[in-house]
Amino acid sequence: MGGDKSLVVHGVAVRAVSEINSADYDALVLVTAPGVAPPQALEDFVAAARLVDASLDKNAAVLACPRVSGGRLVLAPTGPLTAYDDVRSVGEAALAGVRRAAAAGAVRPALALQPHPTWPNAELVALLGALEALYVPLQIRESFPAQAHGLRALGVYGEGVRVPLDELLRDAAALELSRGVARDIGGADPERMAPGAVARYVQELFAGTSVKVRVLDDAAAIEKNYPLMAAVNRAAATVDRHRGCVIYLEYVPESYERTVMLVGKGVTYDTGGCDIKAGGVMAGMSRDKCGAAAVAGFLRACDLLRPALKVVAALGMVRNSVGEQAYVADELLRSRRGLAVRVGNTDAEGRMVMGDLLAEMAERAAGERAPHLYTVATLTGHAVRAYGEGYTAAVDNHAARGHASALQAAGAALADMLEVSTLRREDLAAHRGRVAGDHVHQADNAASSAMPRGHQAPAAFLLLVAGLEAGALAYTHLDVAGSAGCLPAPPTAAPLLALAAHYGLVRSKRDA
């Protein structure tokens, strides 16, 4: 925060303002919702406008209004709300409102924040939605800057907000900058964010910060320590820029009582391998690195917000390519823990990338304080089929049971939605060895969306490979295939906000 108490988010100055008609801004964005009165100075104006145009409660509009900055009032309605709606409606309206202001020619809009009677964190969610409008994709910034939006500043006005405005700004700015990291990594194309490029981006991002970075890109060391990942990497490793790596991140505050241990799936492009994705379904597979991207973003949030929480992460960055060195179905591999793993489908590479990394985290957990292990991955089409777009599937092991529900509640408060799934005996049975001498069956040779329990069972594979089916180590698998953002939609950084809310990074958050 500078001397003028402004922040810079994605190159745009963000600052609190004390009036709705500040001369420093050229439009005012007002999110409207049923049961929420506009700021007092605008109540009669908005009421009169609604008498003229009933659609103002459904569609964003720009009205000439001499009472606000720039004489432009942008009404951004949530639309009608029912008992089944949630705080996402507020964030979506704020995002649409800032974009509408920009389309109208505003370059310095202000946003009016108001509390909502149903959603205690509506102000923070609205601010996050507005800040999202400031983000410009990495490759547009680098190669096509003329196509970027022209916004130069964002003012934030609060009337009746339940927490100090400077706290809201601080938290929202940090979270949006962190989501920007996840969007940069997850949204860039397979060449701009090939494994080594991701490593360089992360090293530059965290240079001189509280987060330590280490990169392992030696093929022999990966083969020795993470043989399942090494199998996926074999075909890609023949092309230098596609060669896989592991990125280790660690944030350790002076005082902490809990440890979060995260493994992120970072498949920079997924062809399906020898079980190739045919029929036009390969497009969009550059987003298969969004799990690792979200984990990197969460570490950025830890650096900016400094929670009393130790965080250890491993990002498995690899490309699932096709070639003469590619791994194939029927191969029998020896895992880090010495298990015989039979490959059934090379398009089930995500669990292979994460399995040995998770096993290593389980080994390390014995020396950590109150550890909780996670895998975060765009893992299965079944998660999308089961819950739809916009929802993360959360699966606890026996020792973590109940944690997914707590994470679901934390995410819902900040519009980062999760659904809770349960591991059953059938899931473990589906991945026990089927050939004499095999310990683990990797996958059936069919799409997960066509399989019963197609997103729960892969969590069981990870459980078995890492040795987490027994004992007291808490583990939660987060399948973000439905929530991470599929092309052409932008990456979302899910489940970054849910993790941040659950682990106390958001100091301005109000519990529902």
Task: Give the mean pLDDT of the chain.
Answer: 96
What is the pLDDT, as a whole number, of residue 2? 38
Residues 267-299: pLDDT tens digits? 999 999 999 999 999 999 999 999 999 999 999
Write down the domain spans for the chain.
6-163, 210-502
Residues 6+ apart with CB under 8 A from 318: 195, 229, 232, 233, 236, 244, 245, 266, 267, 268, 349, 353
What is the pLDDT, as a whole number, of residue 392? 98
Confidence of residue 216 (pLDDT cuts 50, 70, 90): very high
Asked if the domains 6-163 and 210-502 are classified in one and the same CATH topology, the answer is no
Tell me if residue 351 is catalytic: yes
Whether residue 32 has pLDDT greater than 90: yes
What is the pLDDT, as a whole number, of residue 449? 83
* Look-up of token digits 């994605």: 10
Mean pLDDT value across residues 318-329: 98
Beta bridge partners of 214: 248
- Looking at per-residue confidence, does 449 or 408 come out higher? 408
Percent of the chain with pLDDT over 90: 94
Residues 121-164: pLDDT tens digits? 999 999 999 999 999 999 999 999 998 889 999 999 999 998 89
The active-site residue, picked from 88, 243, 265, 351, is 351
Question: CB of 184 within 8 A of CB of 294?
Answer: no
Considering the domain 6-163, what is its CATH architecture? 3-Layer(aba) Sandwich (3.40)
What is the pLDDT, as a whole number, of residue 430? 96
Distance (Å, rounded) from C-alpha 127 to C-alpha 120?
13
Residues 418-433: pLDDT tens digits? 999 999 999 999 999 9
**H-assigned helices in 207-276:** 219-225, 227-236
**CATH, domain 210-502, list 3.30.413.10, 3.10.450.50, 3.40.630.10, 1.10.150.120:** 3.40.630.10
Distance (Å, rounded) from C-alpha 326 to C-alpha 328?
6
What is the pLDDT, as a whole number, of residue 149? 85
The active-site residue, picked from 277, 306, 364, 385, is 277
What is the pLDDT, as a whole number, of residue 144? 95
Percent of the chain with pLDDT over 70: 98
Confidence of residue 5 (pLDDT cuts 50, 70, 90): low
Tell me if residue 310 is catalytic: no
What is the reported pTM?
0.97
What is the pLDDT, as a whole number, of residue 451? 87
What is the pLDDT, as a whole number, of residue 1? 35
What is the pLDDT, as a whole number, of residue 16? 97
What is the pLDDT, as a whole number, of residue 510? 65
Residues 383-398: pLDDT tens digits? 999 999 999 999 999 9
Instruction: Give CA torsion, residues 29, 78, 291, 139, to 10 deg.
Output: -40
**Which of left, alpha, beta for 371 (phi over 0: left; psi -120 to 50: alpha)?**
beta
